[in-house]
Amino acid sequence: MIELFQMKCFVAVAEELHFGRAAARLFMTQPPLSRQIQLLEDAVGVTLLERTSRSVHLTAAGKSFYRDARALLAQAEAAAANARRVSGGEAGQVVLGYTAVAGYALIPELIAAAQKRFADIDIVLREMVSADQLDALASHAIDLALVRPLGVETAFSYELAVREPLLLALPDRHPLAAKARIQLKNTADQPFIMYAAKEGKYFYDRIVNLYAASGISPRYVQHIAQTHTILALVRAGIGMAIVPASAQRLGFEKVTFRPLWRRDMFAEFYLAWHPAHRNPALDVVRRFAGEYLRGPGKAQHMTGAKI
């Protein structure tokens, strides 16, 4: 069987055409070097070097083998270097889950920045709702998740990445659209496009809680899972809605956004990952993503926390 060390010895002799100089280059003595060349020729089954007491020359087979041996040694060295880079998190692959809302601006901007920073790390995107992302984390189908806090205790680690206000979205022609600030009572019995209780659970719960203690509620006319569909219905005049501020990035015309009557209503995204993961690139991408999405000096970490 041919060994890489034997090829390394042969390449040194082929380039030096002198056993003494080749042995010195390899930091070994001449007898074991000669033995390695003999073992290599026995394994290949042909003579690679013609030796005399005064000179060393490559045979035709030796010249051919030299070219292939150099390529194989270079490939072996590259494989070892790549393995070291992967082990150090400098190369590899990270599968990132995200929700549709995050796909409007957060994810495209994050990936563009990451590609400039990490030339040898592939980030593979998987769009899915937050609950499905957590299931995918548990089964290791994804490495990193950008999720809404669902109020469930898990064995994952979490880091607050984004906090944005909730806004009231209205058709441009709605009478309330002319008001700079809308009060809670103004929304009473108004047609309202609500998030679906299951697919849009995070926003559904927040909006229900917003109205729960007031004794006032809008008139729910539709329950929809995705924000872009909700805004399309708002634009058509079907009703008003409460959406995250990032929804403005969708660029819907004829939709007016106004602050809520409460300034403490936010929507949050967390980065989530399995603390027992074995992907070095994940830690590199996670730290970069957290810094990019959150900005410096605002880190909040939770391990096994209830969010």
Last residue of a domain, one of 25, 53, 86: 86
Predicted confidence at residue 296, as pLDDT, reads 53
What range does the domain containing 280 cover?
Answer: 92-161+269-303
Query: Which two tokens mark 290?
Result: 């957290």
Contact 200, 224 (CB under 8 A): yes
Domain co-membership, 155 together with 282: yes
For the chain (307 residues), the mean pLDDT of every run of 10, in chain order, is 92 92 94 93 93 89 93 89 76 92 90 93 94 92 93 80 95 92 91 94 92 87 95 97 93 94 91 92 94 64 42
Q: Which runs of E-coded beta strand occur in the chain?
A: 49-51, 56-58, 92-98, 121-127, 144-147, 157-171, 191-195, 219-224, 241-244, 255-259, 266-273, 301-303
Predicted confidence at residue 146, as pLDDT, reads 96
pTM of the model: 0.72
DSSP 26: T
Last residue of a domain, one of 35, 52, 86: 86
Instruction: Please report which helix (H) or strand (E) contains residue 299, including its range.
Output: none
**Residue 167 to residues 9, 58, 241, Cα–Cα distance (Å):** 71, 78, 8
Domain co-membership, 137 together with 275: yes
3-state secondary structure of 199: coil
Predicted confidence at residue 303, as pLDDT, reads 42
Predicted confidence at residue 66, as pLDDT, reads 93
Question: HSE (CB half, 13 Å, CA atoms) of 185?
Answer: 0
Domain co-membership, 148 together with 172: no
Question: HSE (CB half, 13 Å, CA atoms) of 211?
Answer: 20
Domain co-membership, 190 together with 156: no
Cβ neighbours for 65, distance < 8 A, ≥ 6 positions apart? 10, 44, 48
Last residue of a domain, one of 86, 109, 141: 86
Q: For the chain, how many structural domains are there in total?
A: 3
Distance CA 94, CA 226 (A): 26
Domain co-membership, 80 together with 110: no
Regarding beta strands 121-127 and 92-98, do their DSSP bridges make them parallel or antiparallel, or are they unpaired? Answer: parallel
Contact 72, 7 (CB under 8 A): yes
Distance CA 157, CA 171 (A): 40
Cβ neighbours for 83, distance < 8 A, ≥ 6 positions apart? none
Domain co-membership, 25 together with 156: no
Predicted confidence at residue 145, as pLDDT, reads 96
Predicted confidence at residue 216, as pLDDT, reads 87
Domain co-membership, 8 together with 78: yes
Distance CA 152, CA 215 (A): 28
Domain co-membership, 30 together with 71: yes
The CATH number of residue 247's host domain is: 3.40.190.10
Predicted confidence at residue 58, as pLDDT, reads 94
